Amino acid sequence: MAAGTLYFIPVPLTEDTSPQQVVPTEVVQQLHRLRHFIVENEKTARHFLAASGHPGPMRELALSVLSKDTPNKELSKLLQPLQQGIDVGLMSEAGCPGIADPGAALAAVAHHKGIRVVPLIGPSSLLLSLMASGLNGQRFSFLGYLPSDKVERIKTIKGIEFDSRKQQATQLFIETPYRNQHVLEDLISQLQPQTRLCVACNLTAQDEMIVTKTVADWNKSPLPDIHKKPTVFLLLA
């Protein structure tokens, strides 16, 4: 029996954005053909499925959970339906699965088992912010999360700026939303005046904000309120 296909399905970045606004029709059609899903959060996944107009009764859809706390030994179990020839959709809580997301580990196991992995088109906060930033889009690095400890975070920020200047590469990173304001304040206070900093907040939402300025210019006006708002930070020294 041929194995099923594992589809990586992007979902909207914010709850107030409908699937029809950011997900191509062809992706929604593929989504509607699936009855088995691996999801990061069952509640938000069911909300997305219902908002997409999925034709299947919600109670009859099979949802398994893959979170950052899922042990590696459980990954093979999640792939069992695929080994029985059933196609499965993988969904992150927001954006593209597999990028800064536990889906990456599942994809690795799927490749090891010879299961086909198909990425579908949809919103990625990292690519959208890079596209609009005006920074170097030919050489860039995504660094994940900064340290939560302030001393370590400042040390890391200085290292990121050094690497950006040396490589002439854009550096992207994210933070837990409730620490966003602290990170922004540290960036403004620690980076060199001519370093360009982009703050991309609430992407695809009605109050989306994408602003790129030198640190010197950021210091000339009050900082935006990005507390508890999903944000991508980008800098180019």
Give me the domains of the chain, ranges plus CATH numbers: 5-119 (3.40.1010.10), 125-236 (3.30.950.10)
- What letter represents residue 102's amino acid? P
Number of Cα atoms under 13 Å in the Cβ half of residue 217: 9
The pTM of this model reads 0.89
Determine the Cα–Cα distance for residues 104 and 74; give it in Å rounded to an integer.
14
- Token pair 């799927």 in the structure block, residue: 110
Pairing of strands 196-201, 88-91: unpaired
Q: In the chain, what percentage of residues exceed pLDDT 90?
A: 86
The pLDDT of residue 108 is 96
Residues for the chain: how many in total?
237
Short-list 81, 86, 84, CA closest to 64: 81
**Per-residue pLDDT reduced to its tens digit, 164-213:** 999 999 999 999 889 999 999 999 999 999 999 999 999 999 999 999 99
Determine the Cα–Cα distance for residues 95 and 10; give it in Å rounded to an integer.
5
The pLDDT of residue 100 is 86
Q: Which two tokens stand for residue 38?
A: 């691996």
Determine the Cα–Cα distance for residues 200 and 127; give it in Å rounded to an integer.
11
Q: Give me the residues paired with residue 220 across strands.
A: none
Quick check: helix, strand or coil at residue 31? helix
